[in-house]
A and B are shown apart, each in its own frame.
Chain A
Amino acid sequence: MASGVSGYAAISTRVRAMYSDLLTPQDMARLSDSPDFPFLISALKNTPYGKYLSGIKDNELTPRRAILQIKNRLAASFSSVVQQAPEQTRPLVKQMYRYFEVGNLKAVLRSIQTVSSWNPDISTWERVHEVLFPFGSFSTIPAQAMVESGSIASAVELLRGTPYETAVSFAMKRFSTEQNLFPLEVSLDLDYWRRLWAEVRQLKGKDREMGGKLVGSLLDLNNLMWVIRYKIYHKLSEEELINYTLPFGYRVRDEDVRSIAAGADIASVVSRIYPGIADVNVYLENPQSGLPKLEHQLKQQVMKQCVSAFIGDPFHIGLPLAYLVLSDFEIQDLIVLIEAKSSSLDDEDFRPLMLKTNIVQ
């Protein structure tokens, strides 16, 4: 079993090379200065995303298509890392990649639920396909067959033998009585993060430490946002909040989640965990606009964690994981930009949503 220097020789070199290809805050600022969507696309063609955009005719490069194309870069990064990661860490990277498959699965289920309101001239699959992450041969879900099955129950039947079978089969009973996708989606999320955490716990030494730090930070972000959103928007009870969250993470402890569930002041809990985040109170006063800002701040905390993984000993899984998370965040930034430029949003409406700033670099 290759580990340490021998296992990470090739991958750490490759990841460092790929890391140097990520856009800098200056690149991002230049892209943000683009006056409109076509200008942004031509600027993007001069970046490492160019090769994913250049094969498409300009008139076919709609904002949605552009987003799909740039996601291909993240897919390529993941498959490259999966192939080169040491054997014992591959299950973790693969499970991390499944995040996008879970996203695809949710999109497929939502499309089945809302299909009746769509334009009948365009086939449902074509519409859905455009928004799915380009998962390629890694995909385990028969997305097209699920969409074409026409009902949630038949679609879920098609998930037999996939990693999602158990999670959805338990939630289906509730779906059939509530006719709401919420239990299915929560079940998929919880199952995904539990499996990811279990993969981290399988590792040893530095891999486990760094994997725990990075996956734990992502988990913190999700756990905290879940409990806050479920409490504020869904008005769920204490026991529901506990059951819809997870008892592990890096900085956020189970006691923190439980105290929020039990009615403690959210702002003081968040401020205690993240003393660097100011104005939590202000964000919570107006959750509609404040919660996305809080989430943005938490994501920047994760980014800092990722950037710090590149300092010091490079022979552990932290380096590839950090690169993948940073790539994902970069694509989230580009999606914000593409949507902002195609909708002609003002600078002040989208710039605060950008993750890559000088602060975290």
Chain B
Amino acid sequence: MLFPKEMAEVELIVPTKDLVAVARVLSGNGVFHQVDSTYLGLENLGPNTWQEKAGNYSALERRIQSVMQSLGLPEEYPVKAEVGSMVDLDAVRPSLDRIEEEVKGVSDQLSSEKKRLELLESQLRQIEPIADVSVNVGVLSKSSFMHSILGVIPAANISRLKTSLLRIPHVFFTLRTDPQKSIVWLLGSKSNFDVLERAAKSAYLNPLSLPEEFDGTPEQITELLQKEIESTKQKISNLEANIAQLAGTHKTELQELLWEIHISRIMADAIVRFGQLRHTYVVVGWVPTAELENLTARLKQASREILIETMATSRSGHHTNVPVALSTNKWLKPIQMLVGTYGHPSYGELDPTLLMAFTFPILYGAMFGDIGQGLMLVLLGLLMHFKVILKAMQGLGLLIAYCGMSATIFGSLYGSFFGFEGHLIEEYIPFLDFIKPIWISPMENILSILSVAIDAGIVILIFGFLIGMFNSIRSKDWAHFLFGHSGVATFLFYICFLAMLGSFLGGTALAPKIAVAINNLPLPFTTLLLAFGFLVMFSGFFRNMVEGHTLIEGKGIGGFLMFVIQSLMDLLETVISMLSNTLSFIRVGAFAVAHGGLSLAIFSLAREEPGLRFWITIIIGNIFIIGFEGLIVGIQTMRLHYYEILGKFFHGGGMRFEPLKLTPSQEEA
């Protein structure tokens, strides 16, 4: 739960005779993430025949799909299909050739008739707008003084075409307009022939082209076209009946062929990525450790001579090549979605989902503490989760419900119910006078709540530092453990920085108690601050030293000066970010106070008399607070996590676990 699933690297040596059986097991279980191991093979074995086979299967699969498409058959696989052996291409081809030939003749004829129908209809549409013009169309092109273009143009180009012709006299008619294209008639003087032609061409005005057999007036041409259209439609209807008959005859055979070729293609694709030796194949991949035993047993059943070497991958060290399979829990799904928006954990790295499942609602609740409004959020979240309302946002339902629960708990700590607090409860809802602040009323203890918020931030940041260091230890990244941005040196510098903050704010009500407590420790914090400051300033240099890289990138005195200035800027940036990161959490307290303030504003709008107007204003005000402030608090919570918390220890960038899958149901899953 805290870490991605433990993975084991599997290396198989497979005798050539068992190749297909092993490929079937690996592809059929959905647990094996294959790694391309062709580089392990021998180069002088000649061309890889599996490459060719995979290509042939793929081509055959496309042919079957194309035939099924022509017959209007959906690409369905048998419901409980067995994963059989790979199909012999030569055995399948004759059946496919036969069906294809049978279908092709009819479907080619059908598509050619459909094209003809489309052409005839388009010609009819083009001629319709000038149907009542009793002029022979051919005459237009033979005019001595006028140049005329009758044609189709993209509707969007008309205004531009008109603009482009402003400088010459012309007449422009739009005879018919569709959303996509229009039929237009452009007329101008023959002396402007060039301009008219260039303008028409560049506006993509395609002149109308009627076949020579349709000569005469538009009315005569329309009549001829309509007759042709009727006869073509009849032909199409007959051909479609033929296609339906062929579909019924070949449906089962085609579906079975498709399934067989499909699984053969997937297995061949997998085998292409095996490393070929003289008499054996090398297969490399990753399997979740929990599935390893089951897979091994199946592999041994498939091949008695198979050699299986498994290497459990410890979570330490760099594992950029290890695929990451995350545990899935439906209750944590919305939190996982928030983490996923930031990044996919890498192997060995702590999956922050569980941590965020606690911190997100807590920070939200602290900023939006109110029993009544919290319960409303719980209700809203549950209604969304169960798709009663806002179905499109179902994924956020549980998150809202969690935040609502936390807001309810903090509401009881603050003694707030739909904005009624303290004397307001006694005055307006005396039957609920048992609601009293269990802990603190933010409105009456503003500085204290701000100080507590900074303390909470300090705890979270220290926790972030510790997890960051823990991650570095696990990955044995000693350079970052010691001198990284969440490493030991930076952490100790932060502690000294807190001591200084405690000393600076010590006498004020705003002073964070943790910082003051650190400052009270009998340690020479000023000296330590300078010492750790030095380490932080030159952390890049020290990291390079630990990792054995070039210590300073630049050359000569110029390079050295640049390095010192850059280090100084790094230190400055670290100090500023520590200050802003710590003080950033003050918003948690500030929002708790703002929440009370906003409620007071609603009460002042409602006036004092508890009549109908008062209660309507309170209800509308609460709806506004839940909708508006609830959302703003959500943004702030997200911001705190993305900027201040996750950045301390979470890098992301992991490779997703994508196992070989065979059946469509697994692919969908």
Contacts and interface: CB of A to CB of B under 8 A. Distances in A.
B249 to A, nearest CB: 28
B628 A9 contact: no
A242 interface: yes
B201 interface: yes
Given A80-B341, A183-B204, A258-B163, A240 B199 contact: yes
Contacts of B430: none
Contact of B198 (A33, A166, A240): A240
Interface in B610-669: 627-628, 631-632, 634-635, 638-639, 642-643, 652-653, 655
Interface stretch (A49-57, A64-72, A111-119, A129-137): A49-57
Interface in A1-19: 5-6, 9-10, 12-14, 17
Contacts of B163: 242, 247, 254, 258
Query: How large, as a class, is the contact surface on chain A?
Result: 35 or more
A290 B627 CA distance: 55
Interface stretch (B152-160, B308-316, B478-486, B520-528): B152-160
A64 to B, nearest CB: 19
Interface in B550-607: 553
B160 A243 contact: yes
Contact of B157 (A6, A13, A243): A243
Nearest to B62: A145
B638 A243 contact: no
Interface string A11-29: 0111001000000000000
Contacts of A90: none
B627 A170 contact: no
A328 interface: no
Nearest to B627: A6
Given A6-B627, A80-B341, A17 B199 contact: no
Contacts of A167: 154
A55 B655 CA distance: 8
Contacts of B195: 237, 239
Interface string B47-79: 000000000000000000000000000000000
Interface in A184-227: 187, 190-191, 194
B587 to A, nearest CB: 14
**Size bin of chain B's contact surface:** 35 or more
A174 B202 CA distance: 9
Contact of B206 (A173, A194, A244): A173
Interface string B323-351: 00000000000000000011000000000
A238 interface: yes
Contacts of B639: 13
A171 interface: yes
A170 B198 CA distance: 16
A190 B161 CA distance: 13
Given A174-B201, A242-B160, A243-B161, A5 B628 contact: yes
B284 to A, nearest CB: 14
B217 interface: no
B160 A166 contact: no
A166 B181 contact: yes
B206 A51 contact: no
B167 interface: yes
B324 to A, nearest CB: 12
B197 to A, nearest CB: 10
Contacts of A242: 160, 163-164
B320 interface: yes
Nearest to A262: B167
A247 B159 contact: yes
A118 B627 CA distance: 61
Which one of B199, B635, B652 has the highest number of Cβ atoms from chain A below 10 Å of its Cβ? B635
B165 interface: yes
Max count, chain B CB within 10 A of own CB: residue among A10, A242, A254: A242
A247 B655 CA distance: 47
Given A194-B156, A247-B159, A170 B206 contact: yes
A183 B205 CA distance: 12
Given A6-B627, A50-B653, A54-B320, A240 B202 contact: yes
Nearest to A50: B653
A247 B157 CA distance: 11
B180 interface: yes
Contact of B199 (A13, A166, A239, A246): A239
A171 B206 CA distance: 9
Q: Dominant SS at the B interface? A: helix
Find the residue from A54, A173, A194 having the highest chain B CB count within 10 A: A173
B203 interface: yes
A243 B163 CA distance: 8
Contacts of A254: 163
Contacts of A166: 154, 180-181
Contacts of A258: 163
Interface string B197-218: 0110111101000000000000
A237 B643 contact: no
Contacts, number: 88
B627 A238 contact: no
A258 B164 CA distance: 9
Contacts of A84: 341
Interface in A68-100: 80, 84
Contacts of A173: 206
Contacts of A247: 159-160, 163
A237 B167 CA distance: 12
A247 B160 CA distance: 8
Contacts of B153: 170
Interface in B124-167: 152-154, 156-157, 159-161, 163-165, 167
A243 B320 contact: no
Contacts of B627: 6
B204 A187 contact: yes
For A13, A239, A244, A247, which residue has the most chain B Cβ atoms within 10 angstroms?
Answer: A239
Nearest to B636: A13
A9 B637 CA distance: 11
A167 B627 CA distance: 45
A247 B201 CA distance: 19
B164 A243 contact: yes
Nearest to A166: B180
Nearest to A171: B204
A13 B198 contact: no
B203 A243 contact: yes
A93 B206 CA distance: 32
Contacts of B652: 51
Contact of A10 (B154, B206, B321, B638): B638
B160 to A, nearest CB: 5
Interface in A242-269: 242-244, 246-247, 254, 258
Contacts of B321: 55
* Most A Cβ at <10 Å: residue of B204, B206, B627, B628: B204
Nearest to A48: B653
Contacts of A17: 342, 642-643
A246 to B, nearest CB: 8
A171 to B, nearest CB: 6
B538 to A, nearest CB: 18
A180 B201 CA distance: 14
A9 B204 contact: no
Contacts of A240: 164, 198-199, 201-202
10 contacts: A6-B627, A9-B634, A10-B638, A12-B635, A170-B153, A237-B195, A239-B195, A239-B202, A243-B202, A258-B163
Interface of B: 152-154, 156-157, 159-161, 163-165, 167, 180-181, 195, 198-199, 201-204, 206, 320-321, 341-342, 553, 627-628, 631-632, 634-635, 638-639, 642-643, 652-653, 655
For the complex of A and B, list the 5 residue pairs with the smallest distance between their C-beta atoms, beginning with the closest: A51-B653, A243-B202, A239-B164, A242-B164, A239-B199
Given A170-B204, A240-B164, 15 more contacts: A10-B638, A17-B643, A167-B154, A170-B152, A170-B154, A170-B181, A194-B156, A236-B202, A239-B164, A239-B165, A239-B195, A240-B198, A240-B201, A243-B202, A247-B160
